[in-house]
Structure 1
Amino acid sequence: MKHTFLAVSIFAGLSSQALAATYQLTELPRYEGGKYTFISDVNDNGQIIGAATSLFGLPIDVSYIDFDDATIKNAYEQAKTSYEEIDEEISFTLEDIKNGAAATNADANRFMLSFLGARANSAEYQKLQDRVALNIDAVSAQEQVLFDVDDTDTNGLTRSTSNYLTAISEDGAIVGWGSSPFSKTTFTPEGQSEEKTFFVRDWSARGLVLTPQGEKVTLEPAFTEHGGYSIATDIRKLDDGSYVVVGQASIGIPENRQKNYDDNCDDKDEPLQVCRWIRQLSSSRPFYDLRAFIWQLDENFNVVSSQDLGLGLTPKDDENDAFISAALAVNKAGIAVGYSPYRNGDDLYPFNVAGYFKDGAFKPFKTLEKWYETGKATDINNNNIAIGYMAENVRNVIREQVAFYYDLNEEKFVELPYFFKGSKAVATDINDAGFIIGQAEVEKNSSNRRREGFIYQVGDDKVTNINDLLPCKDSSGNNYPYNIAEAIKITESNHIYAIATKTVERRDRLGNIEKDSNGNIEYESVTLPVLLTPITGGEVENCAPPEAETYERQSGSMLFMSLLTLPFAWLRRRKLKLAKS
Structure 2
Amino acid sequence: MKFKLLAASVAVALSQQANAATYQLTELPRHDNSKYSYVSDANEAGEVIGYASNLFGVKIDVSYIDFDDSTFKNFYDNTKKQYELIDEEITFTLDDIQNSNAANTNAQAHAFMLSYLSSENRNGFIQHQHVISGIVLTYDNSSAEEFVVFDESSPDYEGLTRSVSSYLTSIAEDGTIVGWGSAPYKKITFTPDGETEKETYFVRDWRNKGILVTPAGEKIKLEPAFTEYGGLSIATDIKQTADGGYIVVGQSSTSLSQRAKENIEDNCDGKDEPVEVCVQSISTPFHTRAYQWKFDNDFNLTSTTDLGLGFTPDEDSEIAYSSLAVATNANGLTVGESRARRQSNNDLLPYGQAVYYKDGEIKRIKEVESFIEYSQAVDVNDNGIIVGVFGRSSNGSREYDSTGFYFDTTTSEFKEMPAYFESSATAVNDINNNGFVVGQGVIEKSGSNRRREAFLYEIGAEKLVNINSLLPCKSDSFPYTIAEAVKITDDNKIYAVATKTVERRNTLGGIEKDSKGEIEYESVSLPVLLTPISGEPESCTPPEAETYERQSASWSWLSLLALPLVALRRRRKI
The TM-score with structure 1 as length reference comes to: 0.88
In structure 2, C-alpha distance between the alignment counterparts of 1:580 and 1:420, rounded to whole Å: 21
SS in 2 for 1:157: coil
In structure 2, C-alpha distance between the alignment counterparts of 1:424 and 1:262, rounded to whole Å: 44
| Shift, 1:580, TM fit | 5.6
> Following superposition of structure 1 onto structure 2, how do residues 83-232 of structure 1 map, counting pairs within 5 Å?
83-98=83-98, 99-120=100-121, 121-232=124-235
| Shift, 1:522, TM fit | 0.5
SS in 1 for 2:78: helix
| Shift, 1:140, TM fit | 0.4
Amino acid aligned to 2:245: S
> Following superposition of structure 1 onto structure 2, how do residues 2-17 of structure 1 map, counting pairs within 5 Å?
none
SS in 1 for 2:348: strand
> Following superposition of structure 1 onto structure 2, how do residues 473-488 of structure 1 map, counting pairs within 5 Å?
473-474=474-475, 478=476, 480-488=478-486
In structure 2, C-alpha distance between the alignment counterparts of 1:321 and 1:578, rounded to whole Å: 27
Amino acid aligned to 2:419: Y
| Shift, 1:96, TM fit | 1.3
* Residues 40 and 167 in structure 1, CA contact (< 8 A), matched pair in contact too: yes
SS in 1 for 2:276: helix
Is 1:498 aligned with 2:496? yes
In structure 1, C-alpha distance between the alignment counterparts of 2:332 and 2:214, rounded to whole Å: 20
| Shift, 1:394, TM fit | 3.1
| Shift, 1:203, TM fit | 0.4
In structure 1, C-alpha distance between the alignment counterparts of 2:236 and 2:137, rounded to whole Å: 16
In structure 2, relative to structure 1, the CA distance for the partners of 1:119 and 1:230 (3 Å cut) is same
| Shift, 1:540, TM fit | 1.5
In structure 2, C-alpha distance between the alignment counterparts of 1:256 and 1:360, rounded to whole Å: 29
In structure 1, C-alpha distance between the alignment counterparts of 2:571 and 2:491, rounded to whole Å: 25
Q: Which residue of 1 is the match for residue 72 of structure 2?
A: 72
Amino acid aligned to 1:458: I
Amino acid aligned to 1:51: Y
| Shift, 1:547, TM fit | 7.7
Give structure 2 stretches of 5+ with no counterpart.
Answer: 1-19, 548-567
Q: Which residue of 1 is the match for residue 353 of structure 2?
A: 353
In structure 2, C-alpha distance between the alignment counterparts of 1:367 and 1:68, rounded to whole Å: 58
In structure 1, C-alpha distance between the alignment counterparts of 2:508 and 2:381, rounded to whole Å: 42
* Residues 427 and 437 in structure 1, CA contact (< 8 A), matched pair in contact too: yes
> Following superposition of structure 1 onto structure 2, how do residues 408-487 of structure 1 map, counting pairs within 5 Å?
408-474=409-475, 478=476, 480-487=478-485
SS in 2 for 1:119: helix
| Shift, 1:362, TM fit | 1.9
In structure 1, C-alpha distance between the alignment counterparts of 2:401 and 2:111, rounded to whole Å: 38
SS in 2 for 1:260: helix
Amino acid aligned to 1:326: L
| Shift, 1:95, TM fit | 1.7
Instruction: Give the superposed CA RMSD.
Output: 1.8
Q: Which residue of 2 is the match for residue 41 of structure 1?
A: 41
* Residues 474 and 480 in structure 2, CA contact (< 8 A), matched pair in contact too: no
Q: Does 58-67 or 288-297 show the bigger shift? A: 58-67
Is 1:579 aligned with 2:572? yes
SS in 1 for 2:393: strand
| Shift, 1:546, TM fit | 8.4
Amino acid aligned to 2:460: G
Is 1:545 aligned with 2:538? no
| Shift, 1:266, TM fit | 0.5
Identical positions, percent:
52
Amino acid aligned to 1:501: T
Q: Which residue of 2 is the match for residue 307 of structure 1?
A: 305
| Shift, 1:103, TM fit | 1.4
Amino acid aligned to 2:210: G
* Residues 21 and 471 in structure 1, CA contact (< 8 A), matched pair in contact too: no
| Shift, 1:452, TM fit | 0.5
Amino acid aligned to 1:370: S
In structure 2, C-alpha distance between the alignment counterparts of 1:369 and 1:508, rounded to whole Å: 48
| Shift, 1:493, TM fit | 1.1
* Residues 41 and 576 in structure 1, CA contact (< 8 A), matched pair in contact too: no
Amino acid aligned to 2:277: V
In structure 2, C-alpha distance between the alignment counterparts of 1:321 and 1:351, rounded to whole Å: 14
Amino acid aligned to 1:237: Q
In structure 1, C-alpha distance between the alignment counterparts of 2:510 and 2:241, rounded to whole Å: 47
In structure 2, relative to structure 1, the CA distance for the partners of 1:527 and 1:124 (3 Å cut) is same
In structure 2, C-alpha distance between the alignment counterparts of 1:358 and 1:240, rounded to whole Å: 20
Q: Does 199-208 or 364-373 show the bigger shift? A: 364-373
Q: Deviations over 1:47-90 (max 9, x none)?
A: 11000001100110111112233232222122122222222221
Give structure 1 stretches of 5+ with no counterpart.
Answer: 1-19, 551-574
Is 1:55 aligned with 2:55? yes
For this pair of structures, how many residues does the alignment match? 529
| Shift, 1:396, TM fit | 1.6
Q: Deviations over 1:171-221 (max 9, x none)?
A: 110000001100111000111110111111110000000000101000010
In structure 2, relative to structure 1, the CA distance for the partners of 1:267 and 1:434 (3 Å cut) is same
| Shift, 1:359, TM fit | 3.3
Q: Which residue of 2 is the match for residue 374 of structure 1?
A: 374
Q: Does 495-504 or 315-324 show the bigger shift? A: 315-324
In structure 1, C-alpha distance between the alignment counterparts of 2:292 and 2:85, rounded to whole Å: 56
In structure 1, C-alpha distance between the alignment counterparts of 2:322 and 2:211, rounded to whole Å: 20
Amino acid aligned to 1:168: I
| Shift, 1:128, TM fit | 1.0
In structure 1, C-alpha distance between the alignment counterparts of 2:465 and 2:220, rounded to whole Å: 41
| Shift, 1:435, TM fit | 0.6
In structure 1, C-alpha distance between the alignment counterparts of 2:437 and 2:115, rounded to whole Å: 40
> Following superposition of structure 1 onto structure 2, how do residues 178-327 of structure 1 map, counting pairs within 5 Å?
178-279=181-282, 282=283, 286-327=284-325
SS in 2 for 1:489: strand
Amino acid aligned to 2:82: S
The TM-score with structure 2 as length reference comes to: 0.89
Amino acid aligned to 2:434: A
In structure 1, C-alpha distance between the alignment counterparts of 2:507 and 2:263, rounded to whole Å: 40
Amino acid aligned to 1:34: S
In structure 1, C-alpha distance between the alignment counterparts of 2:180 and 2:255, rounded to whole Å: 20
* Residues 436 and 456 in structure 2, CA contact (< 8 A), matched pair in contact too: yes
Amino acid aligned to 2:64: Y
| Shift, 1:479, TM fit | 7.5
In structure 2, C-alpha distance between the alignment counterparts of 1:548 and 1:76, rounded to whole Å: 44
Amino acid aligned to 1:518: K
* Residues 182 and 201 in structure 1, CA contact (< 8 A), matched pair in contact too: yes
Q: Does 337-346 or 128-137 show the bigger shift? A: 337-346
In structure 1, C-alpha distance between the alignment counterparts of 2:101 and 2:459, rounded to whole Å: 57
In structure 2, relative to structure 1, the CA distance for the partners of 1:58 and 1:164 (3 Å cut) is same
* Residues 233 and 578 in structure 1, CA contact (< 8 A), matched pair in contact too: no
In structure 2, relative to structure 1, the CA distance for the partners of 1:431 and 1:580 (3 Å cut) is closer
Amino acid aligned to 1:374: Y
In structure 2, C-alpha distance between the alignment counterparts of 1:454 and 1:303, rounded to whole Å: 38
Amino acid aligned to 1:185: I
Q: Which residue of 1 is the match for residue 8 of structure 2?
A: none
In structure 2, C-alpha distance between the alignment counterparts of 1:208 and 1:578, rounded to whole Å: 18
* Residues 138 and 146 in structure 2, CA contact (< 8 A), matched pair in contact too: yes
SS in 1 for 2:103: helix
* Residues 186 and 202 in structure 2, CA contact (< 8 A), matched pair in contact too: yes
Q: Deviations over 1:476-497 (max 9, x none)?
A: xx47410010000111111111
* Residues 208 and 231 in structure 1, CA contact (< 8 A), matched pair in contact too: yes
In structure 2, relative to structure 1, the CA distance for the partners of 1:186 and 1:580 (3 Å cut) is farther
SS in 2 for 1:180: coil
| Shift, 1:409, TM fit | 0.7
